[in-house]
Structure 1
Amino acid sequence: MDDALPPRAYLVVIDGSAEARVALRFAARRAYKTGGTLEMLAVVEPAEFVQWAGVQDAIDEEARLGAEALLHQASSDIVEELGLQPRLTVVEGDPAKAIRAALAERPATAALVLGAQPGSGGPGPLVDYFTADAGQMPCPLMVVPGGLDDAALDRLS
């Protein structure tokens, strides 16, 4: 019998927002401190329909390249600071559905880590969506307050 468990994997959604940066910092430190892995996911929402296929393809490719650049920039900071090499994934589609699909494909996910928007405008659409259905999640949902500074994140993670 093989008792070896896969390492804890923390899945964090990267969208360029300040709260996503906070969630990434928290998730990276949790992964590092627990001997786990970090998975960074960027979701490219399909562009509104454009009449000409060539234009549509160019718009989609530009969005995908932007998401890849965002992931690479964010991951380089993690590699430099912690030496942790995250898994980077870019998918296209509805963000909530894409995240659910990613969780279904990754049964070793220890937690989905999302950052909540600070302020009175609500925590954000993904936090709203996943907290409303938290009881049906295949893993814990960690919601990190987007207003935390680096010192607080380091202390809490």
Structure 2
Amino acid sequence: MKKLFCVAPIFLFLSACSSMSPIQKESESTSHFEGAVYQGKDFYTLDEEVQGERYRVFHQASTGFSGTSGIRKSATKRANDFCRKKDRNKKMLTVSEHTAAPPYILGNFPRIEIIFVCVDTELTQTTVAVTDKYERLIKIKELLDTGTLTQAEFEAEKKKILAEK
């Protein structure tokens, strides 16, 4: 019986649920980082102006043990699915991304908020090609230096950026 009382809290802690918000128009919603104790930092901001309705998607990990890359992948997939549901020829284009910054303690679990626009697939490919990937590399290096990203997260993001055409 004593073992059950010792194991149960650990199991509940490790099996806690992550949270995600519904996708909402940016103009009709507020940031999940607004008023938070741990404000986080801007991870990425698109330098050029993009036309179209902006939407917001938010994800938070259930513990501090997971990195931001997993929740980023999940949030991006939800945003892409949202755009494709609106029109099969649409794809999400990230306008900005805001992430939590370590230390991941006392409820400051990895979280991400992405502002995006649904654009034609062709426009997305052109815009990504125009975006200076080396500028994005500099941004993620700064986030690594300040401790916002772990070395593993930095390497994963760097690999993604360098793989873009």
The verdict on a shared fold, with TM-score over 0.5 as the criterion, is no
Larger CA Rg, structure 1 vs 2: 2
* Higher RCO (C-alpha 8 Å, min separation 6): 1
The TM-score normalised by the length of structure 1 is 0.27
The TM-score normalised by the length of structure 2 is 0.26
